[in-house]
Amino acid sequence: MGRRRAIAVRASRRLLLLLLALVALWGGGRLVQVAWESHYAGARGPYLQLLTSDGVSILWQTVRPSSAVVRFGPAAGDAREELVVPEADTRHRVRLEGLVPDTDYVYEVAGLGGGRFHTAPAAGARVPVRLWVQGDPGYPGPAAEAVVEAAFAWMRARPRAGRPLLDLWLTTGDNAYRSGSNPQFQKALFEPRAGLLRHLPVWPAYGNHDARRWAFFDIFELPAAGEAGGLPSGTEHWFALDYGPLHVVFLDTQSADLGAGSDMARWLEADLAATDQPWRIAVFHHPPYTKGSHDSDRWRDSRGRMVRVRENLVPLLEAGGVDLVLSGHSHMYERSHLLACHYGASDTLRPDMILDDGGDGEYVKPARPGAPRAGTVYVVIGSSSKLDQGPLDHPAMAAALARMGSLVIDIDGPRLVLRFIDRDGAVADAFTLHKTGAGAGRTCPGT
Ligand SMILES: [Fe+2]
């Protein structure tokens, strides 16, 4: 009996060791795969990043190691400076500094050509601002191209006197499907947008599909130290960006702690309290309200991220006077009423939480910058490269469309106009957010 037990113990130990070996082999193989796919060795760029009022980064990759020479100067005139990096490398980054705000510049990377860019206006400058927002743009192909072409055709037909075609290019995350691998970023972003990236940096939100490899934060240079305005965050996962009258906060709803009192929540609260910019927009991937291809009521959907965003971050956004929240994740379009104090599931929405239903395409809110809980519009834009199914019946929404498209947002003085340009070039939805009159904000009932 004793001998049999010993044999059985030895056999189960061997089985356990075999299982552990298999798990280690699988884990090791997976690690190698993730590391391998986080890397891209081909040629890329040049592309711009971290364009501020006084500087810009120019990045590119070469197949063989080479030195770098960049010439640049104001577009008006022939004066050019030359920056030389003699060390040979395949990955290149040159930062141009000491630039003049709100000015056209040209640059050229020796051997690779260059482009033209427009520096950001100083924070607080009362200039009109045009944003283009792609939602979940990571599926390359004809549908994504049709959406881009439609938005640019619309913008080209409506140029702004004395201003660039557009100022800011944002995404709501999921920039490269399925895994955010570096080769997928090449296919979904760098190949189709090569021309645009030479002139304008993309400001990307961090989506769940971006987080499966280690490429995102390697590719993008984001202002952890407050380089673009706002409070330094100390991380590229969340940060602020000032552009003329606009303050934008980018949040990481994928990998950051979404708890009340988390590092990101504390930074967000402090950053919004510190800014005096009249217009405030927040950008992150997981929407607090959606009944599209994701359901913000379901705790199990996306591991509760949408619920935690709504319960822990939305109160801070509203207290900090955020006017507009842009999210993706659901691959369609939804636009809310002007809301305040709606932090629960969709069946807890009460009429007093709707400050303006926006049914006529115009919302009115007080002019005071940062007035707390004076009304926020929540837009889900996730259909810039793929359309999915969903009931689109969230009661917080004033409009909802199962249609592909992207957003063009114009801010001018006291008005913000958001247009959803569909893939055929039609304005499928639009609204104006008009700031006028007195009003100090409000407190939520029951608090
Ligand atoms: Fe997503």
**124-135 pLDDT per residue, tens:** 999 999 999 999
Ligand 1: distance of its center to the CA of 174 in Å? 6
Ligand 1: distance of its center to the CA of 239 in Å? 20
Ligand 1: distance of its center to the CA of 291 in Å? 14
The reply to whether omega before 86 is within 30° of 0 (cis) is no
Instruction: Pick 44-118's CATH classification: 2.60.40.10, 3.40.50.720, 3.30.310.50, 3.40.50.620.
Output: 2.60.40.10
The beta-carbon contacts of 6-10 under 8 Å, at least 24 apart in sequence, are none
Contact 328, 393 (CB under 8 A): no
Ligand 1: distance of its center to the CA of 238 in Å? 17
Ligand 1: distance of its center to the CA of 389 in Å? 14
Ligand 1: distance of its center to the CA of 292 in Å? 12
Cα distance between residue 206 and residue 137, in whole Å: 12
Terminal CA-CA length for the chain:
71
Structure tokens at 236: 């590229």
Ligand 1: distance of its center to the CA of 77 in Å? 45
Cα distance between residue 145 and residue 153, in whole Å: 12
Ligand 1: distance of its center to the CA of 209 in Å? 6
Give the pLDDT of residue 447: 59
Ligand 1: distance of its center to the CA of 216 in Å? 15
Ligand 1: distance of its center to the CA of 41 in Å? 27
Ligand 1: distance of its center to the CA of 285 in Å? 7
Contact 376, 341 (CB under 8 A): no
The full length of the chain comes to: 447
Ligand 1: distance of its center to the CA of 157 in Å? 32
Ligand 1: distance of its center to the CA of 126 in Å? 35
Buried/exposed code over 224-238 (b: 16+ C-beta within 10 A; e: otherwise): eebbbbbbebebbbb
Ligand 1: distance of its center to the CA of 137 in Å? 10
Q: What angle do CA 265, 268, 273 make, to 5 degrees?
A: 130
User: Is-same-fold flag (44-118; 129-435)?
Assistant: no
Residues facing 339 on adjacent strands: 354, 376
Ligand 1: distance of its center to the CA of 417 in Å? 26
3-state helix, strand, coil in the chain (%, to 5): 25, 30, 45
* Mean pLDDT for back-to-back runs of 10 residues, the chain (447 residues): 80 91 91 88 96 98 97 95 95 97 98 96 96 98 98 97 96 96 97 98 97 95 98 98 98 97 98 98 98 97 98 98 98 98 98 94 94 97 97 98 98 98 98 92 79
Give the pLDDT of residue 3: 81
Ligand 1: distance of its center to the CA of 328 in Å? 7
Ligand 1: distance of its center to the CA of 173 in Å? 7
Ligand 1: distance of its center to the CA of 127 in Å? 33
* SS3 state of residue 262: coil
Ligand 1: distance of its center to the CA of 336 in Å? 19
Residues with CB under 5 A from ligand 1 (ion): 174, 207-208, 329
Ligand 1: distance of its center to the CA of 371 in Å? 31
Structure tokens at 190: 């760098």
Ligand 1: distance of its center to the CA of 208 in Å? 5
Ranges of H-type helices in 96-205: 142-157, 182-185, 194-197
Ligand 1: distance of its center to the CA of 46 in Å? 28
Q: Domains of the chain: which residue ranges?
A: 44-118, 129-435
Cα distance between residue 181 and residue 209, in whole Å: 9
Ligand 1: distance of its center to the CA of 237 in Å? 16
Instruction: Name the strand (E) or helix (H) holding 160.
Output: none
Ligand 1: distance of its center to the CA of 37 in Å? 20
Contact 216, 205 (CB under 8 A): no
Count the neighbouring beta carbons within 10 Å of the beta carbon of residue 17.
10
Ligand 1: distance of its center to the CA of 177 in Å? 10
Ligand 1: distance of its center to the CA of 115 in Å? 32
Ligand 1: distance of its center to the CA of 444 in Å? 30
Instruction: Pick 129-435's CATH classification: 3.40.50.300, 3.60.21.10, 3.40.190.10, 1.10.1750.10.
Output: 3.60.21.10
Ligand 1: distance of its center to the CA of 283 in Å? 14
Ligand 1: distance of its center to the CA of 210 in Å? 9
* DSSP assigned state of 376: B
Ligand 1: distance of its center to the CA of 35 in Å? 22
Global pTM value: 0.95
